[in-house]
Structure 1
Amino acid sequence: MELLSVPAARLPAAGLRRRRAAAGRIRCGIAEPSGVPAPMGQKTKYKDGLFAKIFMGLFARKMEKFASGGPSAKEINGWDYESFVDVSRRVMMGKSRSQQQEAVREVLLSMLPPGAPAQFRKLFPPTKWAAEFNAALTVPFFYWLVGPSEVIEVEVNGEKQRSGVLIKKCRYLENSGCVGMCVNMCKIPTQDFFTNEFGLPLTMNPNFEDMSCEMVYGQVPPSLSEDPVAKQPCYSSLCSVANPNSKVCPKLVT
């Protein structure tokens, strides 16, 4: 994300250095030598800028009120992505699936000024333009949360439009290693929030084989009983809350 719109070639050397230094503090980027997410089975390394860390701390502090147990040393001394995921994990503990999803909904609402959902509905009625506009915003503003993504063409109600977002390897999923956290702390509450609070349908289709995810703005999400994620096996070898004897993620059936 650039801080200024002035072309770099027109900036004096000192100004260019300041611009690049400031941008470096804001940006969140992959620290892998390849510049792309690490292969399946390996955790991608990121270099988070100031912008990313501010959002991590803001979200985590809002979620802390719903979490079990006390804050960790990292949370006390400074938030990072691992401690953000840890708070999410503690929000899950001792709660049913619906309670987890309601907690996320409350957190999302608390991030917005009063009356924001109603204003959003006025500004962004469920049109093709609104769906494409929100897809374009998702790529830069949620990089810190899900990693690199790109806008793609999808078909909604028989019409092709660029309202899809392909997350190449979800940072949240690969750091949690938990199907239940992906579904109950991200997919379902995010779908419900856009569809029911903002009035803009959203469907998220995570691919648990490669940890990618497709977001489709403008598409009404299926009910959980009809959604394939309801029968998704648990990442028993990766998940810290997994039940090794369960063929289906325990956090999807409670």
Structure 2
Amino acid sequence: MVASIGTDTDAEGYDAIVNLTTSLNGMSDQPRDTQERTRLILQSLFPAWLPPAFKVMFSRPLPQLSCRLNAWVTMMTCQWLMGPCKVNDFEREDGSIARGQGVLVERCRYLEETGCASVCLNSCKVPTQDFFGKDMGLPLTMAPNYEDFSCQFSFGMAPRLQAQDDAFQTPCFLQCPSKRRHNAAQKCPGASTL
């Protein structure tokens, strides 16, 4: 993150991640810039060969197994970032049930600590969906709930167009640092204009 942003923070641990993420989110007035920069950070967490190999060896030939595998790996490795979560089933748009292909984040620590829907959308939801869809070959829909701070990950389900996704229609939180920085705009920067 420090290399991507070009600056560091004096904070340590989780507070450092929050500070760096807030800095990243404020670097550009264009949400797409933040999303692409975050996707590059996600790519840097893996050996360069792994996402394309996963796409060829797992996502394409074994999509359900890939969804279940990614649900379990996400649940087991990301609780430090997102808080308590569990693998779950979810209902697809056609009414069928995707068994063991979802992850429910019970109360997203990342969203709660940053206090900003714009950070959620541009530094988490969109780049993570793009990373899984484009780099790993596995569609992912993330559905944050801005009332209780939960988030449903649905592996194998393609994200809706942003104009049809309720997450992009949310007003800023009262304590939103992006809102304060952008003179109390009605919506978080980029939330409804992506």
TM > 0.5:
yes
- Is the 2:104–2:151 contact (alpha carbons within 8 Å) kept by the matching residues of 1? yes
Matched, 1:135 2:71: yes
Matched, 1:249 2:183: no
- Report the secondary structure of 2:141's partner residue: strand
- Is the 1:67–1:92 contact (alpha carbons within 8 Å) kept by the matching residues of 2? no
What's the offset of the Cα at 1:225?
1.7
Aligned to 1:10: none
- Matching of residues 128-207 of structure 1 within 5 Å: 128-156=64-92, 157-160=94-97, 161-207=99-145
Aligned to 1:92: 25
Could you tell me the TM-score, scaled by structure 2's length? 0.89
Structure 2 unaligned blocks of 5 or more? none
Farther-moved stretch of structure 1 (176-185 vs 146-155)? 146-155
Aligned to 1:118: 52
- Report the secondary structure of 2:179's partner residue: coil
- Is the 2:129–2:141 contact (alpha carbons within 8 Å) kept by the matching residues of 1? yes
For the aligned residues, what is the CA RMSD? 1.7
What is the identity, as a one-letter code, of the residue corresponding to 2:175?
Answer: L
Q: Distance in 2 between matches of 1:114 and 1:81?
A: 26
- Matching of residues 221-240 of structure 1 within 5 Å: 221-235=159-173, 237-240=174-177
Q: Distance in 1 between matches of 2:131 and 2:9?
A: 29
Instruction: Percent identity, please.
Output: 33
What's the offset of the Cα at 1:125?
1.9
Q: Distance in 1 between matches of 2:144 and 2:10?
A: 32
What is the identity, as a one-letter code, of the residue corresponding to 1:105?
Answer: R
- Report the secondary structure of 2:151's partner residue: strand
What is the identity, as a one-letter code, of the residue corresponding to 1:239?
Answer: C
What is the identity, as a one-letter code, of the residue corresponding to 2:101?
Answer: S
What is the identity, as a one-letter code, of the residue corresponding to 2:53?
Answer: Q
- Is the 2:179–2:187 contact (alpha carbons within 8 Å) kept by the matching residues of 1? no
Farther-moved stretch of structure 1 (218-227 vs 116-125)? 116-125
- Report the secondary structure of 1:214's partner residue: strand
What's the offset of the Cα at 1:72?
2.7
Could you tell me the TM-score, scaled by structure 1's length? 0.69
Structure 1 unaligned blocks of 5 or more? 1-62
* 1:199-228 superposed Cα distances (whole Å, 9 cap, x missing partner): 111000000001000000010001212211
What's the offset of the Cα at 1:129?
1.8
Q: Distance in 2 between matches of 1:185 and 1:81?
A: 15
What's the offset of the Cα at 1:109?
1.3
Structure 1 segments of 4+ aligned residues over 6 angstroms from their partners: none
What's the offset of the Cα at 1:94?
3.1
* 1:183-202 superposed Cα distances (whole Å, 9 cap, x missing partner): 00000000011011111110
Q: How many residues align?
A: 186
What is the identity, as a one-letter code, of the residue corresponding to 2:80?
Answer: W
- Is the 2:67–2:155 contact (alpha carbons within 8 Å) kept by the matching residues of 1? yes
What is the identity, as a one-letter code, of the residue corresponding to 2:161?
Answer: S
Q: Distance in 1 between matches of 2:136 and 2:152?
A: 20
Aligned to 1:73: 10
